[in-house]
Structure 1
Amino acid sequence: MSKNSTALLLLASLALPTGAFAQSFDLVIANGRVMDPETGFDAVANVGINNGFITEITDQEIAGARVIDASGHVVAPGFIDYHSHAQSEFGHKLYVRDGVTTPLDLEVGAFPVKNFYEYWDGKSFVNYGTNVAHVGARVAVLDGQEPDGRVLYSPALGAAMQDGAKFKTKTFDPLDEGAIIEAIEAELKQGGIGIAYPIGYYTVVGSPELMGVTSLAAKYDVPITTHVRYLAQIPPSGFMGITEMLTIARENDVAMLMHHIPSNCLGLTKQCLDLIDSARANGQKVVGEFYPYQYAGTYVDADYNAPGFEARMGIQASDYKLAATGEPLTNEEFDRLRKEAPGTDLLMYTMKQEYIDEAFARPGVIVGSDGMPWIITDDDGNKLGFTATFDTPYGKANGHARGAGTHAKILRMVREEGTVSLMDAISKMSYEPALFLEDHVPQMKIRGRVQEGSAADITIFDPETVTDNSTPKIGENSLPSTGIPYVVVNGQVVVDDSVVQNIPAGVAIRNALAN
C-alpha cells in the first residue's frame, strides 16, 4: 500500500463517529416501553428513525439529530381510525392530540373522491383517505346534486335533504342501478379505498342495488364498509341489518368492516357479535367496530328517528339533546324540527355500558371514533357553519366528544378497569385496523406496527396519566386528550410536548389510479 493510500485511510478513520459504524438518526425515541401488537414485542428500547421510517430498534444507546426521552411512556404504533367524519384541520388537531395518525372516513366516504384527495394534498399533518360514498352517488344520480367531495355534509347534500331527497326516499328501481354503478366505478378508478354503505340513513335502498354495487368491490378487489339498516332491538332490528350485509359480502367474496355494532344492535349487541364471529369462523373477512360512549351523534331526519323511536330504541324524546346547546328535546320540539329543520344535529343516549364492554372484550372488534364535524355556533346555539379552523381554540367548537377523546378514553378504561390488556387495546387501535386494509392498500402493510422497516407513525403516551377530557357539555366536548405528549407522523414530530405542529407530514392513503 502506498503512503498516500495509508494517509487517506487514516483521514477517513478520523472522520468516523465514535464507534466506527455508529449511525446517526433523524429522530431517536429513547428509553420508552416499545409495544408492537403484531409481534408481541414489549420492552424498554430505543427507536431510530430516518427518512420517515423506523430503521432500528435496539437496547443500545443511539444518537440522533433530535432525541425524545420517552422514559415512563409507551411507544406505540400511531392509532388508525377508520370512522372519522371530522375532516378539518381542527378535527385533525384533536385527533393527533388523541394519538391518531391516520383518521380515514370509511363509513360515509366522499364523492367525488378526487376532490377530497386534492384538498388535503400537501397540507395535512395526518395521513388522510376515504372510501367512495354510495350515498354520494345516489345524491348525484337521483337528485342531480354533486357533493363537493371534501366534507360529510356538503351544501348539495344539505339542499337535497331539505327538499325531500330522492336518495333517501326513492325505493329500489332497476333503471337507476346502472347509472349508480357507473358513478361509483368512476370514483374507484380515482383511488377510493373501498365502497361505503351508510344505509342506516337511507333504508329505502334496495338490497339488489347493494348487491350490484358490491360486485364492483369484487372487481377492483376493495373492501366494503357499512352502517347497517335499522337502529333497533325489535324487528326490523340491527341484527337483521347485519345479516343482510354479511350475506351481500359473502356472495361477492369481499372484505367488510361493520361500523359501531353496539350503536345499531343495542340490547342485541352480544347476538350481533356472535353472528360476526360465526361468519369469521366460516372464512369471511369481516371485522366489527365500536366506540366507548353511551350517546351517539345523529340528525333529526335520520330514518331511525322517525315516530315510533321509543319502542325501537327504548328511549324518550328527552334522551335526545341538541348538539349545539345540550338542550334536551320534547316531543313537541322534535315534531317542529322534523318539519322546519330536519338536518339539525343531535346527541342521543341509547347505549348501555354493558354493550360497550361486550364489544371491547370481543376479539376481532376494532375501535372507531365516529368523530363528527365540529360546529361553530353563536351565543344562542345557532349554527354558523363547519368553520372550525386550525387556530380555533379548544372548547370553542361543538360536536361529539368522541371526536376528541375516544382513544385516550380506551387507554383510561384499560388502566381503571383492567378487563382488556394494554397490548390488546393498542392492537384494536392500530395493528388490527391496518391488517384489515393491508391486502387492498399496500400503504397499510407498514402501518400499525413499531418494527424496523415500518412507517414512523408513532404515538407516545403515559399509561398512568393518559385521559380523555371531552364531555357532552358545550364548551367541553372539543377539549383535547392529555397524557399523549408526542405523536410522530411519517418521521415528523406533529405533537411536540402536547403542542400540535401544522406541518404537511401526512400522506394520502389510497388505491392506485386507473388509466
Structure 2
Amino acid sequence: MKNSLTALPLILSVMTASTAYAQSFDLVINNGRVMDPETGFDQVANVGINNGYITEISLDDLDGAREIDATGHVVAPGFIDFHSHAQSEFGHKLYVRDGVTTPMDLEVGAFPVADFYDFWDGKSFVNYGTNVAHVGARVAVLDGQMPDGRVLYGPALGAAMQDGAQFKTKTYDPLDEAAILDAVEAELKQGGIGVAYPIGYYTVVGSPEVMAVTGLAAKYDVPITSHIRYLSQIPPSGFMGMTEMLTIARENDVPLLLHHIPSLCLGLTKECLDLIDSARAKGQKVIGEFYPYQYAGTYVDADYNKPGFEERMGIQASDYKLAATGEPLTNEEFDRLRKEAPATDLLMYTMKEEYIEEAFTRPGVIVGSDGMPWIITDNDGKKLGFIANFDTPYGSANGHARGAGTHGRILRMVREEGKVSLMDALSKMSYEPALFLEDQVPQMKQRGRVQEGMAADITIFDPETVTDNATPTIGENSLPTTGIPFVIVNGQVVVDDSVVQNIPAGVAIRNPVVE
C-alpha cells in the first residue's frame, strides 16, 4: 500500500500490520525516526528509494536490494551548506561525514563558473554548486589575473594580493563598471546560482557598482549573497554594512542571504538580526546565517585586520593564531606579515557564546559552516598547498574545525543545551536553505525534505551520540564528525557505516546555461 507523506499522520493511525502489496526498492531505510521539517512529520517509519528518489514512506514492511536498519537513528533531509570554501575531495569527504549532501560556495563563488562545474562533472560524491564571484570579475578586470574557477583561494588571487591588488585598493571608478558588468553577466549566462559579494574583503568597492551588478541579478532572476562590509562593532560597523545590502536587494527586488552575522556584527548581533526581522516583516526575502564557533577564519591583509582592529573588534594581536601552526601573533609579527606574507591564513577569536546563541535561537537564520580550504604544511609550518586528494588522512590537514564539524556540533548543542528543538535545527540545516533558493533554482524544490517524490538526499544520525570531533588544535581540526553512519546522495549510499565511498553520486545545482 502506498501512502503519501502528507496523509501519513491520518493513515498511520488506522493501519494494521498487514501489507496489501509489497514493492521492491533499490534501497530501504527501516525503523528510523523520519523527520521532515517542512510538514513537521516525526514518526518511526520505513523509507523506500528507487532511481534516486524517495518513492514510499510507510509503516508497512518494505523490501529492497539494499536495506539499512536505522533503529534508534533519525532519518533527516541531507544537510545543505551554502558556505563552503573547502571545494576539494578531502573537503567534501569531511562534509559528507558531517551529514552534508550539498556543500556549495555562495559566499565567494567561482570565476569562471563553467570551470567549477566542469571540474566536478561526473566525479563528485556530493551535490555541488556556486555563485558568480563578483570579486573574481574584479580581479580579472582590475588586476588582469584570471582566477582558478574551481576555487578562488588560488594562485591568481594570491598573485593579485602580492602585486598590490587593485580589486581591493583602487578607489571606485565608474569607468570600470561596464567591464565588470560584462564579466559578471557572462558568468550568469554560464549557470551561476546567483551573485556573491564578499565585500568585507574589498571595502573600496563603490555602492553604485554593487547596485548595478545587482541589477543583473534582477535581470536573470537570481539571488545575491554578501559577506558585508565592516567587521566592527563601532562605526563604520557591521550594522551599517547590513543596511547597505538590504537596501540594494530591496531596490532590485532580489533575494538576499547575509553570511555569518555574529562574526561580522559581534556585540551588535541582536541589532543586526532585528534588522533582518524587520525587513522580512515588510515582505523582503532575506535570511541570515551563522556558524557555532567562537573563532573565525581570515587572512593577514583583510581590510578589517588593518591597524586599529583592537577597538573595532575588541581583541588583541594574541587573539589571532596562524592557521598552519596554531602560534599566536604578536604586534611585531602581524606588522611583518602585512609586508611580507599578506595572504597568510589566520584564526581569530572574536565571538562570544551569547552572539552564537542569539543567532541559533532566531527564526530565519540558517547554518553555514564557512569551511575554509584545507592546507598542508611542511615541518616548518610553510604552506605547501590546498589538499585535494580523497585519500588524505583525517587529522593531517590544517584549517578551521568548522569545515569538519559544524553540523555535528549543532546536533550536539541540541542534545546538550536544549535551547533549540531538533526539528528546528534540522530545518536550519536543510529545509530553510532549500526554501530560500527554490524559486530561482527549481532543483532545490526536491531537496531539504524527506517526502515521497523528493530527491533521496538523506542523513541518518544517532541523536544520542552524534558529535563533532574537530578542535582548534593542529592535528585535530580536520577530524570527522561521528554518529552519522549513513549518508545518501541521490539514492546512493555515500557514507556507508561511517566510511565514505568515492562514487559519482552528486549532481550539479545550477541555473540553465544561456547561449
Matching residue of 1:235: 235
- The question of 1:450 aligning with 2:450 is answered yes
Deviations 1:34-62 (A, max 9, x none): 00000000000000000000000001111
Q: CA separation in 2, counterparts of 1:19 and 1:282?
A: 50
- The question of 1:47 aligning with 2:56 is answered no
**Helix, strand or coil for the counterpart of 1:26?**
strand
Deviations 1:469-492 (A, max 9, x none): 000000000000000000000000
Matching residue of 1:13: none
Q: Is the 8 A contact 2:19 2:60 kept in 1?
A: no
**Helix, strand or coil for the counterpart of 1:430?**
helix
Matching residue of 1:362: 362
Measure how far apart 1:379 and its partner are: 1.5
Matched to 2:377, the amino acid is T
Measure how far apart 1:152 and its partner are: 2.6
Q: Is the 8 A contact 1:398 1:478 kept in 2?
A: yes
Matching residue of 2:90: 90
Q: CA separation in 2, counterparts of 1:215 and 1:391?
A: 43
Matching residue of 1:5: none
Deviations 1:273-329 (A, max 9, x none): 000000000010000000000000000000000000000000000000000000000
Q: CA separation in 1, counterparts of 2:125 and 2:422?
A: 27
Question: Could you tell me the TM-score, scaled by structure 2's length?
Answer: 0.96
Deviations 1:344-366 (A, max 9, x none): 00000000000000000000000
Matched to 1:423, the amino acid is M
Measure how far apart 1:147 and its partner are: 0.4
Q: CA separation in 1, counterparts of 2:366 and 2:171?
A: 33
Aligned residue runs from structure 1 range 82-161, under 5 A: 82-161=82-161
Moved more, 124-133 or 145-154: 145-154
**Helix, strand or coil for the counterpart of 1:448?**
coil
Matching residue of 1:474: 474
**Helix, strand or coil for the counterpart of 2:159?**
helix
Q: CA separation in 2, counterparts of 1:336 and 1:289?
A: 34
Deviations 1:77-113 (A, max 9, x none): 0000000000000000000000000000000000000
Show structure 1 runs of 5+ residues with no match.
1-17
Moved more, 151-160 or 190-199: 151-160
Measure how far apart 1:21 and its partner are: 3.9
- The question of 1:276 aligning with 2:276 is answered yes
**Helix, strand or coil for the counterpart of 2:460?**
strand
- The question of 1:178 aligning with 2:188 is answered no
Matching residue of 2:6: none
Matching residue of 2:168: 168
Matching residue of 2:7: none
Q: Is the 8 A contact 1:376 1:388 kept in 2?
A: no
Deviations 1:393-413 (A, max 9, x none): 000000000000000000000
Q: Is the 8 A contact 2:82 2:104 kept in 1?
A: yes
Identity of aligned residues (%): 86
Q: CA separation in 2, counterparts of 1:295 and 1:20?
A: 56
Matching residue of 1:3: none
Q: Is the 8 A contact 1:324 1:375 kept in 2?
A: yes
Matched to 1:460, the amino acid is I
Matching residue of 1:80: 80
Show structure 2 runs of 5+ residues with no match.
1-17
Larger Rg: 1
**Helix, strand or coil for the counterpart of 1:257?**
strand
Matching residue of 1:226: 226
Q: CA separation in 2, counterparts of 1:503 and 1:388?
A: 16
Matching residue of 1:491: 491
Q: CA separation in 1, counterparts of 2:156 and 2:105?
A: 19
Deviations 1:384-427 (A, max 9, x none): 10134100000000000000000000000000000100000000
Matched to 1:172, the amino acid is Y
Matching residue of 1:337: 337
Matched to 2:451, the amino acid is Q
Matched to 1:217, the amino acid is A
Q: CA separation in 2, counterparts of 1:499 and 1:176?
A: 50
Q: CA separation in 2, counterparts of 1:282 and 1:172?
A: 32
Aligned length: 498
Matched to 2:446, the amino acid is I
Q: Is the 8 A contact 1:404 1:477 kept in 2?
A: yes
